[in-house]
Structure 1
């Protein structure tokens, strides 16, 4: 399905452009080297991350509180007992060093952005991302994407997070462009693609796992499928 009338293409960051899961896996395993079952450790870390982030996005926790909560749960569940807040913060500081060292783009990210820039020079490129502004901007710079992105909209700066339509509108306002002229691509069906559509953008779901779940959103399985869909 071709996309017509697009004047900007915005992307999610983690899970779409940057392989957050691989970086998180490397960091949590480095932080709990005594756990023999790495698969169980990583699986539980991802579950706790999703659970705590959902509470943060719902306004029940601050960003720091959700981080401390999931670390405390992980330590207790893997036999480390109750950790003090200072110990949690120290562990996270060490985790963050490992996490940032493991930041990598997906193999299809840079080729897609460079192709869009080369073949559709009129397109304006950017991101909409949930998270801490300083970390997300640092991430984009470190992996070499920052210079390709004109617009960066981060939930911590806007004050609301995806799937709230207000963050999509903030990105549209920053570009001074109507939402219908903006394409948004993300790896989470409801939080990214369907939320973007609800906010008036052209939402595209990056279904990297090829789940084939039914949706009204345009679906791709690799970012390199995107440039051929874009009409000038």
Structure 2
């Protein structure tokens, strides 16, 4: 593989969290369906089965609004849940407490780390590279997810939307996370699975980046974007150490 970061002096790496370190998608799908079935047992069975997918897809963009600082994490979750209730044909109500009571244990129980995380971080540490996390999720929630996935001991720093005060793709998020990691942003690589938010956001902040695509193939538009911005595509976190050309 071409060492796309070779010669850039990369001395630190920041990783996205959700669907990069652990399989958030699968956990949300399972937990969302289970919680919706418990809270709204009389709803359409087919929609209940798809409730986790709907909850994660967030068609009204409430998580993006949270990322932009337009709402806090709790408000975002309530709005997201309200949209789900409407989609399931349920009356107005305060659903947050009963839903979370069912959802959170199921989500954390289903959350699993990808098997390439520890080998990848170990390989980077052997090269003397600092490794941290930059996520748009909330700090306490990210810590809970890291513990559930068995990764809480692994990183030098964990930066989140609420601890920084701004989220990706805002350049300030990338720069401040690099600073907290103890590295110059221009020498800090970034790897994540959301093309616009993660690698393209990092490139916009003046950082080398890579796009993690675990499944499927990038479309034509995505291939053009990564080529235009010199963003390598990796299929596993194990490939990151090789990007440095060491």
TM-score (norm 2): 0.85
Asked whether the 8 Å contact 1:163–1:195 carries over to 2, the reply is yes
CA distance in 2, matches of 1:53, 1:191: 12
Aligned length: 228
Distance in 2, matches of 1:175 and 1:48, equals 31
- Give the ranges of 4+ consecutive aligned residues of structure 1 lying more than 4 Å apart after TM superposition: none
Distance 1:50 1:152 in 2: 28
Q: Deviations over 1:134-180 (max 9, x none)?
A: 11122223322232211211111110011111111111211332112
1:165-204 alignment to 2 at 5 Å?
165-204=171-210
Aligned pair 1:64/2:81, yes or no? Answer: no
Extract unaligned runs of 5+ from structure 2: none
The answer to whether 1:225 aligns with 2:213 is no
Q: Does 1:91 align with 2:105?
A: no
- Could you tell which deviates more after superposition, 24-33 or 220-229? 220-229
**Equivalent pair of 1:6/1:231 in contact (CA under 8 Å):** no
Asked whether the 8 Å contact 1:210–1:221 carries over to 2, the reply is no
Query: C-alpha separation between the residues in 2 aligned to 1:49 and 1:89?
Result: 22
* Rounded Cα–Cα distance in structure 2 between residues aligned with 1:30 and 1:39: 8
**3-state secondary structure, aligned to 1:127:** strand
Distance 2:99 2:201 in 1: 34
Unaligned 5+ segments in structure 1 are none
- 1:36 equivalent in structure 2: 45
Distance in 2 (CA, whole Å) between partners of 1:95 and 1:129 is 21
With over 3 angstroms needed to count, the CA separation of the structure-2 counterparts of 1:88 and 1:177, relative to structure 1, is closer
Q: Which moved more, 1:69-78 or 1:16-25?
A: 69-78
SS at 1:231's partner residue? coil
Structure 2 distance, partners of 1:126, 1:41, is 33
Give the aligned partner of residue 141 of structure 1. 147
1:102 aligns with 2:110: yes
Q: How far 1:57 moved relative to its partner? A: 2.1
CA distance in 2, matches of 1:154, 1:59: 12
